[in-house]
Amino acid sequence: MSQYSVELRDVVKFHGATAAVNHVSLQIHKGEFFSVLGPSGSGKTTTLRLLAGFEQPDQGDILIEGRSMRSVPPNYRPVNLVFQHFALFPHLTVFQNIAFGLEMKRVSGPEVARRVQDALGMVKLTGKERRLPAQLSGGEQQRVALARALVNHPTVLLLDEPLGALDQALRQDMQVELKAIQERVGITFVYVTHDQDEALTMSDRLAVMDHGRVLQVGTPQEIYEAPATAFVANFIGVSNCVSGRITAINGTRCAVIVPDLPEAPVLQARRPASAHEGRTVTLSLRPERLHLSRESGAGGFDNCVPARVEKVIYAGNETQYHLNLSDRVRWMTRVPNTGIDQKPLAAGEAVIIRWNADEGVVLTE
């Protein structure tokens, strides 16, 4: 037995002349909730279809439980897919939809009935087995689609943006529920989405894809805290970026000179994996890690730069400040509205932005 539930080895898939999936290698552990996150056209859906077997890789290999899936058609793979628009059979009842896979596997009648009931219970649809899909709400259809896949006890469950068709409130409920179900059944989930919130809140680990390539693989925290590229930094959450040059390296930190800011300050930041003096880099900062002050000076922080408030957006739980640092650099910060000790800043005010060296991520690409 392999240590991995799913393994992609240097997989390439062409759609016409473009590589939809471009030398992708991934290792997904047993029982892991693994997300593939990327914008449309990033190759995430193609990756999922390669796993399901609807498409065959042009190069490389896919292993499930250590077994090569080369030339294994979908109906012989130990995986099931939850489709983006559910793809429930409209002429079959909820029960018949869920029982479909078991019947194809020639599971005996009483066993089918028992397992369908179990699956219905798990997705909280007991009592609706005689309905047709058209008689169900979007959320209920989603649950049927999930039950139809899980009832087969697949080794890996593939999910193609399964919450994409639901409204916001329902989505958040389903996120929690989906994660709970995954933990209960212990099946490996491979979850494709373009929604960074979904990927961050549900995944054990995730891969960020763009233009057919995997840019970074890691836990949600690793990806958010230490994005590997500017694309990742901006796709996962918001980042304030500015380009500079490394002037000194010292232990776990480095100094970056930023010519685009007034008086070209030298800022302290985390040392990147591949750093040498003189290298051109991008400094990336999360909005919520910046502190604003009316007083001058660093005030105990490692870095400080002056700015002017350009716009103030009150968003209920937080206030967003759009800041003008120079003609070419505009940043954004968020200040949570805690209700204590807050004198809101107004547009046009001069402020000092302060932050610690560890908040500054240096991107070398």
Report whether 211 contacts 38 (CB < 8 A).
Answer: no
Residues 47-76 that bind other proteins (CB under 8 A): 52-54, 73-76
**Binds other proteins by CB under 8 A, chosen from 83, 204, 302, 330:** 83
- Only one residue has tokens 């219905």, namely 120
**Binds other proteins by CB under 8 A, chosen from 90, 251, 300, 339:** 90
Pairing state between β 188-193 and 205-210: unpaired
- Only one residue has tokens 């908040």, namely 359
Residues 129-158 that bind other proteins (CB under 8 A): 148, 152
Contact between 104 and other proteins per CB under 8 A: yes
For residue 70, the minimal CB distance to other proteins (Å) is 18
Sign of CA dihedral 340, 346, 350, 354: positive
For residue 108, the minimal CB distance to other proteins (Å) is 15
Question: What letter represents residue 10's amino acid?
Answer: D
Contact between 188 and other proteins per CB under 8 A: no
For residue 145, the minimal CB distance to other proteins (Å) is 9
Contact between 87 and other proteins per CB under 8 A: yes
Residues 336-365 that bind other proteins (CB under 8 A): none
Cβ distance to other proteins smaller for residue 148 or 205: 148
CA distances from 66 to 3, 23, 29, 50, 114 (A): 8, 19, 11, 16, 31
Cβ distance to other proteins smaller for residue 105 or 328: 105
Report whether 188 contacts 205 (CB < 8 A).
Answer: no
Letter string b/e over residues 136-168, b meaning 16 or more CB atoms within 10 A of that residue's CB:
beebbbbbbbbbbbbbbebbbbbbbbbbebbee
Contact between 89 and other proteins per CB under 8 A: yes
**Binds other proteins by CB under 8 A, chosen from 15, 29, 70, 85:** 85
- Only one residue has tokens 């009935």, namely 113
Cβ distance to other proteins smaller for residue 102 or 325: 102
For residue 300, the minimal CB distance to other proteins (Å) is 58
For residue 74, the minimal CB distance to other proteins (Å) is 5
Report whether 189 contacts 32 (CB < 8 A).
Answer: yes
Report whether 358 contacts 270 (CB < 8 A).
Answer: yes
Contact between 80 and other proteins per CB under 8 A: yes
Cβ distance to other proteins smaller for residue 48 or 233: 48
Q: Rounded to whole angstroms, how far apart are CA atoms 258 and 359?
A: 16
For residue 322, the minimal CB distance to other proteins (Å) is 43
Site residues for other proteins per CB under 8 A:
52-54, 73-76, 79-81, 83-85, 87-91, 100-101, 104-105, 148, 152
